[in-house]
Amino acid sequence: MGEGGRNPLPTHRLDVLGFYCPVPVAKTRTTLEKLERGAILEVLADDPETLHDMPLLLGRTSHRLIDIIQESGEIRYLIEVSA
């Protein structure tokens, strides 16, 4: 993950910078429920707990985690909506 340049462009963005557990994961789940199949959600977070919690959330769904990119204290998740 994080190889760059090969990921699809996001169709939607969720900025949860400055929020801490459980807000980033809860907002991601709510947003994913509203999006149509094939959409690419970009989630911007800075809570290190999301590195553990986001994959757990997605593991309980059919959505696909495309990539996790960490840079300058921010974490960028790319998620393909599958349902």
Tokens of 79: 């998620």
Cα distance between residue 72 and residue 46, in whole Å: 9
Q: Exactly one of 21, 51, 56, 83 is catalytic; which is it?
A: 21
Note the residue count of the chain.
Answer: 83
- 21 classed as catalytic: yes
Positions marked active-site? 21
